[in-house]
Structure 1
Amino acid sequence: MPPPNTLRALIDVTKTTQALLSHYQASLSPPNNTSSTTATAAGDQLASPLDTAKACTTLLKSHTTTLSLLLLTPPLTPSALITKIGDVSSSVLSGLVAAAVTGSDPITGNNSANGLGSLMKTELRGGVLRVLAAWGEVLTLVLRLAERRQSELDGKADTRKKKDEGPTEAERQSVLATTGMVWEACDALLKFCDNGIVGLVVKKAEEWRSVLLDAVEELKEWGEDVDGEEDELAGSDDEFADDDDIFGAANKLGKEDVKLKALLDTSVKKLKMVGMLYQALIKRRLKTFPKSPSKPTASTEEKNGGGKESQQDVTAKLEQLMVHLRAVPEGVDDLASAFYDLDEGEAKVMFDKCCSEAKKAVAMVRQSWNGTDDEFTVWSGKWVNAVDAE
């Protein structure tokens, strides 16, 4: 068994690291989103937060693998574990936090409080928090294993001469499961860093499109459930006949609600067209966004007649495009609520708002990122005409 003094040192180091980790997690968690002065200062000086996060995450995965082998292989060596935990605390964790709290936007290098800059930083912060949470499980496991051995030493004096047979089977499984959690969190963050801005906007747009189409399908099914149709349970004494009333089911669309039914049909039809728009935007605009072109020089702008947008302008346009794309599914939620309340006026307002947001998105990127017409330019014109048609 390890000497009691080294076990106590391991326990102390682990608890101290847990306290540090809790501080880091609190500094990254909303609504505070504040950090220590050291982490903030380091973050402000990072040339590329995504590169920093990637390097630190890769290192953390490697350290975790080594640490898990130390835990699985008898005898337990507290000094080696202390060194490994110290390596993670002194460089990896602080680097991850610095990347997550940087005052500069990971893409543009500008301080940004909204739009894509905020979205990118939020995703990075969330990924780092998941990695920190997984590493916290590793620390909890190390502490549990060390305290068990310390307890055995405190209980029996002759235990010090006993051979360390390693972790129990249950402890082995815990080590493997916890290591897997860290790997999974690290792999997700590494994928985010590798995909960068294009990967993020495509992912978000696909998620919003899925939410939109799910809501449209629910509206369609609700509209098909017309109140007043013959109910096979009507007039019966079945104990479940009044479940809808008992559990407060949504209002049904009555046969007499002709205008509301017509508005619902129109909404479902045109919102499906909006879903088609998302698909086209993802393929023709988001996936073709220039990943890292340099800002045009004065000579380049002069050569282009001053008509080309700078990279900063193009990025700002993408930021605003994502705002519109996010607003549509959010508006559809309000639209559905208006229909369920049988409020025709509010439903009309929300439907027009959803279509307006979609048309604003089209107008912003009617031309390609380099300012030329292409296939999407022609298609988008036809799409707008179809949406505006009665």
Structure 2
Amino acid sequence: MSEKFKITITTTLTLVEQFQSTLSSSQTNAGQRPNPSTNEQNKDLDPLALLSASATALKSHVTKLSLLTLTSPFTASAVATTLSTLNASVLPSLVTAALLVTPDSHTAAFQSEIRVLTNTALKELFFLVREIQAVAEAKASKKSLDQSEKDTVTLAAGRVWDACDVVIDVATKGVVGFVVRRAEEYRDLVRDAVEEIEEWDPDEDGDEFFDELLDDDNEDRPTSGDSDDDDEDSEEAAAALRARKKDTLRVLKPIAQIYPAIITNRLKLVPVPLVPSDVKVLESLMRNLQQIPEHIDEVAGALYEEDLQKYTSQVGKTKDCASRAINLVVLPWAAKQSSGDQETVGDKFTTWSKTWIKVMGEVSKSIDKT
């Protein structure tokens, strides 16, 4: 191997590690405000367009690197030239674009996603370059590679491609595509939880084997009268659970309906580029949409455990999150910038939300009394 090749490939590996460290430390300090001078210098850049272009360029260079590595004779100078381009422009552009995605401009959740995905692409690139380095060392002592060595390089290149494809997809769809996807994930979790509660049978008997063991170990067998009382108590308890299950579903089904309504009428219509006020609304909205399935899981657990206090508390938290989510986007995005009356600037979702609030008030009365 030539000295230039050794220096270039070492530089690439060092740069990738440094860039990974930069992205990780930036993610840790995500709450800090970026340097105003840096913002001024890059104010005209579209970070997502730059990110997509850089990831596409990385894919192209990875293809070239893999072909140069696997094609005999191994030409160290050609590999070094491709790596030099990566070092000088492609990698700095990729990382710069990722760093320009900030909580103020794209939401904290989207920033985190971009950092993680970019870091993944860099990690896979690091493994590929290490494989190329190993091939160069192997070819210095033998003329050709065996199939397993070729497969290792091909697989490493494929992983970089896959990582870049994910970056390109998220960057192309932008914040709107990201929040829609997340909201759909939360929607599916809610649907699954509601279906699980629907399928739960409060009358279902316990494990008969263990019940029999407990009966056999019980020396103080109940009298016939005691047994009748126990049966009556059990029936009352089962009836109460059935009623509670019914009340729960009456509350949870309207809550599940807010997801498709918000996705269709608000999230898919988010104006871009985002203004700071809309970013704050999205942050709060997504937080509440995320917490709803978490609270519903707790509701289900409290039902199964017959913990009335926990059950009532978690249903209340679920309703509160759903109500906050609705209220955050009750008006169209454009109307949030105006001082008009809600009656004049609202739309069909505004009307629907009012109906939803009334319905929630009615269906939750029995639980509220509890």
State TM-score, norm by structure 2: 0.78
Secondary structure in structure 2 of the residue aligned to 1:101: helix
Please list every run of 5 or more consecutive structure 2 residues that lacks an aligned counterpart in the other structure.
214-233, 336-344, 364-370
Contact 2:50 2:94 in 1 (8 A): yes
- State the 1:125 CA deviation: 0.6
- Measure, in 2, the Cα distance between the counterparts of 1:176 and 1:23: 25
Once the two structures are superposed, the pairs formed by residues 191-270 of structure 1 within 5 Å of their partners are 191-221=169-199, 223-224=200-201, 226=203, 228=205, 231=208, 235=212, 256=237, 258-270=239-251
Pick aligned residue for 1:76 from 74, 77, 88: 74
- State the 1:322 CA deviation: 1.9
Once the two structures are superposed, the pairs formed by residues 317-356 of structure 1 within 5 Å of their partners are 317-356=281-320
Contact 2:202 2:242 in 1 (8 A): no
- State the 1:358 CA deviation: 0.6
Question: How has the CA–CA distance of structure 1 residues 318 and 234 changed in structure 2, closer, same or farther, with 3 Å as cutoff?
Answer: closer
- Measure, in 1, the Cα distance between the counterparts of 2:202 and 2:244: 16
Please list every run of 5 or more consecutive structure 1 residues that lacks an aligned counterpart in the other structure.
110-115, 153-158, 237-253, 294-310
Question: How has the CA–CA distance of structure 1 residues 174 and 356 changed in structure 2, closer, same or farther, with 3 Å as cutoff?
Answer: same
Q: Spell out, residue by residue over 1:145-178, the C-alpha distance to the aligned partner (whole angstroms, 9 max, x if none).
A: 122223x2xxxxxx6xxxx44x322233223222
Pick aligned residue for 2:65 from 64, 67, 71: 67
Paired residue type of 1:388: G
Question: How has the CA–CA distance of structure 1 residues 41 and 136 changed in structure 2, closer, same or farther, with 3 Å as cutoff?
Answer: farther
- Measure, in 2, the Cα distance between the counterparts of 1:82 and 1:42: 35
Question: How has the CA–CA distance of structure 1 residues 229 and 138 changed in structure 2, closer, same or farther, with 3 Å as cutoff?
Answer: closer
What is aligned with 2:127?
137
- State the 1:11 CA deviation: 4.5
- Percent of aligned pairs sharing the same letter: 29
Aligned: 1:189 with 2:170: no
Pick aligned residue for 1:119 from 109, 118, 136: 109
What is aligned with 2:354?
381
Contact 2:27 2:115 in 1 (8 A): no
What is aligned with 2:5?
10
Please give the root-mean-square deviation of Cα atoms over the aligned residues, in Å.
3.0
- Measure, in 1, the Cα distance between the counterparts of 2:137 and 2:80: 14
- Measure, in 2, the Cα distance between the counterparts of 1:137 and 1:375: 53
What is aligned with 2:98?
100
Q: Spell out, residue by residue over 1:114-137, the C-alpha distance to the aligned partner (whole angstroms, 9 max, x if none).
A: xx6111211111120121122122
- State the 1:101 CA deviation: 2.8
- Measure, in 2, the Cα distance between the counterparts of 1:81 and 1:186: 20
What is aligned with 1:288?
269
Pick aligned residue for 1:29 from 6, 24, 45: 24
- Measure, in 1, the Cα distance between the counterparts of 2:201 and 2:210: 19
What number of residue pairs does the alignment pair up?
A: 327
Paired residue type of 1:228: D
State TM-score, norm by structure 1: 0.74
- Measure, in 1, the Cα distance between the counterparts of 2:313 and 2:26: 33
What is aligned with 2:258?
277
Paired residue type of 1:50: L
Q: Spell out, residue by residue over 1:71-113, the C-alpha distance to the aligned partner (whole angstroms, 9 max, x if none).
A: 12110011111121221122222222222234744xx54xxxx
- State the 1:9 CA deviation: 4.9
Paired residue type of 1:14: I
- Measure, in 1, the Cα distance between the counterparts of 2:327 and 2:35: 39
Contact 1:339 1:347 in 2 (8 A): yes
Contact 2:27 2:112 in 1 (8 A): no
Q: Spell out, residue by residue over 1:239-274, the C-alpha distance to the aligned partner (whole angstroms, 9 max, x if none).
A: xxxxxxxxxxxxxxx752554543333223422322
Paired residue type of 1:124: I
Secondary structure in structure 1 of the residue aligned to 2:159: helix
- Measure, in 1, the Cα distance between the counterparts of 2:23 and 2:300: 35
- Measure, in 1, the Cα distance between the counterparts of 2:357 and 2:136: 66
Question: How has the CA–CA distance of structure 1 residues 42 and 180 changed in structure 2, closer, same or farther, with 3 Å as cutoff?
Answer: farther
- Measure, in 1, the Cα distance between the counterparts of 2:202 and 2:184: 29
Judging by fraction of residues, say which structure has more helix. Answer: 2
Question: How has the CA–CA distance of structure 1 residues 387 and 13 changed in structure 2, closer, same or farther, with 3 Å as cutoff?
Answer: same
Paired residue type of 1:267: T
What is aligned with 1:299?
none
- Measure, in 2, the Cα distance between the counterparts of 1:202 and 1:226: 39
Secondary structure in structure 2 of the residue aligned to 1:29: helix
Question: How has the CA–CA distance of structure 1 residues 230 and 353 changed in structure 2, closer, same or farther, with 3 Å as cutoff?
Answer: closer
- State the 1:351 CA deviation: 0.8
Contact 2:107 2:279 in 1 (8 A): no
- Measure, in 1, the Cα distance between the counterparts of 2:49 and 2:207: 64
Question: How has the CA–CA distance of structure 1 residues 259 and 186 changed in structure 2, closer, same or farther, with 3 Å as cutoff?
Answer: same
Q: Spell out, residue by residue over 1:42-76, the C-alpha distance to the aligned partner (whole angstroms, 9 max, x if none).
A: 96443332222122111111111111111121100
- Measure, in 2, the Cα distance between the counterparts of 1:176 and 1:41: 43
